[in-house]
Structure 1
Amino acid sequence: MKKPLVGAFAAVLLIAGAGAAPAMAQDAEPTPGKAMAGAAQAGKAADSKGPVGPAKKKPRAVDFAGTVALSNCSGSVVRTAGAQPDDPALVMSNGHCLEGGMPGPGEVLVDQPSSRTFDLLDASGGELGTLKASKLAYGTMTDTDVSLYELTDTYAQIESEYGIKALELDAEHPTAGKAITVVSGYWKKTYSCDIDGFVPTLKEGDWTWKDSVRYTEACKTIGGTSGSPVVDDASGKVVAVNNTGNESGEECTVNNPCEVDENGKVTVRQGINYAQQTYQMVPCIVADSKIDLSAAGCGLPKPGAALVK
């Protein structure tokens, strides 16, 4: 995982960037993890050569609108397709970016008090204003690495005051080979690459994640990018949350995650970075932005669930 950055400098703590601990930027709040990959690139333009025919639709360039900067990490205002304008807005980041420190293996936090603040960004990365949490709705580093904060503002209030719409979470499993952009609100930087594939088990220190997204080499994310939304360039939807990378080639240590396949074979890919898929959380977000871990199809771990290593 990439660790939080200290002040304006990246002091890697655990996972993101290029190594095994979540990528975050450490600041006033003691939050572990490195800030992983920043946002990537705009869609590829249609080929202008060849016979005249129906023009290919050019994907909209991925920008910073709807992303946020935390004190030590990156994040984004997110919603499901069925979210209502008057629902409280949600901010997504990494579990290792929590202001109280990283959750231990098997630990799941639900409905915890929080008054954390987030700097909301416009399309060019300019700061529009400050959003405030009413609570930590969900946070864990078990099976995935995610945090969801419920805000004091609704989606409609944010759009009315700032002209910003939340990023939509894709309800479908992402596809290998798709062009993606990792958008870091902390660094106001994007990283562009493709989804290289999926890792059945990704291990880093004491933590284990399932079905992780592996980037192609071009996404060289760094500390402070932890929690950045991973956006599918074609659809504009969020398919994952950036969280770690192997920095120095070590095997399964903090800041050096290793891949474990279905047969238990361990593979180390130095310099390669990873994210955690988000489609499995979509069914968990129900009316009024509440997190219902018993909802049909919800794939997030529950408190007290047995830890599978």
Structure 2
Amino acid sequence: MKKSLAGALLALALPGLGAAPASAAPAPAPASAPAPVRAPEAAAVGFAGTVALNNCSGSVVRLPQSRPDDRALVLSNGHCLESGMPAAGVVVVDRPSTRGFDLLNSAGTRVATLRASRIAYATMTDTDVALYELTSTYRQIEKRHRVKALELDTSRPARGTSIKVVSGYWKRIYGCSTDGFAHRLKEGGWTWKDSIRYTAACDTIGGTSGAPVVDTATGKVVAVNNTRNESGGRCTLNNPCEVDENGTVAVRRGIGYAQQTYTIAPCVGTGNEVDLDRPGCTLPKP
């Protein structure tokens, strides 16, 4: 599971940027040249709405039924809880919290520290998710800081979906695609269901845990980043393995995973209240 890093990873190498000299001007196109045909642009994906925790990443999120004056929710991983990683089978509901979150704008600049009022829901059973309720409403955050919440998609993403993993902790964006789905993903004593597997380009690192996984076509959050097989280990901490319907185990060294979030919406009712007894809610219960 991806949390904070050792100091050796603090220096991230940035690729060199090539640019034309200031004095150079592009040659004009011939008068008869046809205008280039541009492909439809995908939704712009930046840092706006993401947050940095002291050990992980996260994002301010809303659901289709969320209202402007509802207290906002922050999405991260269950293994990022300030109290430590919940054991398998443990579900946390309505626990007081005063945790702080650094809110970022589109450029990745911190514009505010948001404060939690409680942990609305958290678990590492079947999924790896935490939802914090803030003391601020969506309207207050947008008015004071000019930052909108990210919207959770209510549909399961398809294989091959173009995605961005947006880490507020590192202020870094990873781009790749959904390579497929792990029937079961096992890591140490935890098992997660129907996890998203990334293509190799999303080589996430510690501190990216809890980062929103954004569909680049819609700009909506389809998953929450949570782990990567770091060294080829088999089903051990930081080395998750896949188990298919027949019990066959597969180890994919260097490949990262995320937990789908479309299952959250049916469990949230009026006022952004988590209600695990709502029709269609399949999140684990205490």
Report the TM-score, using the length of structure 2 for normalisation.
0.89
Q: Measure, in 1, the Cα distance between the counterparts of 2:117 and 2:238.
A: 31
Secondary structure at the aligned position of 1:279 is classed as: coil
Q: CA deviation at 1:9?
A: 6.3
Indicate which of 34, 58, 61 corresponds to 2:41: 58
**Which amino acid in 2 is paired with 1:148?**
L
Partners of 1:171 and 1:280 within 8 A in 2: yes
Q: CA deviation at 1:61?
A: 2.2
Which residue in the other structure is 1:29 paired with?
none
Which residue in the other structure is 1:2 paired with?
2
Which residue in the other structure is 2:22 paired with?
none
Indicate which of 80, 84, 87 corresponds to 2:70: 87
Secondary structure at the aligned position of 1:160 is classed as: helix
Q: Does 1:248 align with 2:213?
A: no
**Which amino acid in 1 is paired with 2:2?**
K
**Which amino acid in 2 is paired with 1:109?**
V
Q: Measure, in 1, the Cα distance between the counterparts of 2:43 and 2:262.
A: 21
Deviation string, structure 1 residues 219-247 (Cα, Å, up to 9, x no partner):
00000000000000000000000000101
Which residue in the other structure is 1:143 paired with?
126
Q: Does 1:284 align with 2:272?
A: no
Which residue in the other structure is 1:42 paired with?
none
Partners of 1:133 and 1:151 within 8 A in 2: yes
Q: CA deviation at 1:2?
A: 1.8
Q: Measure, in 2, the Cα distance between the counterparts of 1:101 and 1:146.
A: 13
Q: How does 1:185-200 map to 2 (within 5 A)?
A: 185-200=168-183
Which residue in the other structure is 1:225 paired with?
208
Pick 1 or 2: higher relative contact order, CA cutoff 8 A, min separation 6: 1
Indicate which of 107, 112, 120 corresponds to 2:95: 112
Q: Measure, in 1, the Cα distance between the counterparts of 2:152 and 2:200.
A: 25
Deviation string, structure 1 residues 41-95 (Cα, Å, up to 9, x no partner):
xxxxxxxxxx989964311221000000000000000000121000000000000
Partners of 2:3 and 2:208 within 8 A in 1: no
Q: CA deviation at 1:299?
A: 2.0
% identity of equivalent residues: 63
Q: Measure, in 1, the Cα distance between the counterparts of 2:160 and 2:43.
A: 18
Which residue in the other structure is 2:55 paired with?
72
Which runs of 4 or more aligned residues in structure 1 lie more than 4 Å from their structure 2 counterparts after TM superposition?
A: 8-11, 51-56
Which residue in the other structure is 1:267 paired with?
250
Indicate which of 141, 156, 163 corresponds to 1:158: 141
Report the TM-score, using the length of structure 1 for normalisation.
0.82
Give the number of equivalent residue pairs.
263
- Residue ranges of structure 1 left out of the alignment (5+ in a row): 12-50, 304-309
Secondary structure at the aligned position of 2:79 is classed as: helix
**Greater Rg by CA:** 2
Q: CA deviation at 1:194?
A: 0.3
Q: Measure, in 1, the Cα distance between the counterparts of 2:114 and 2:61.
A: 13
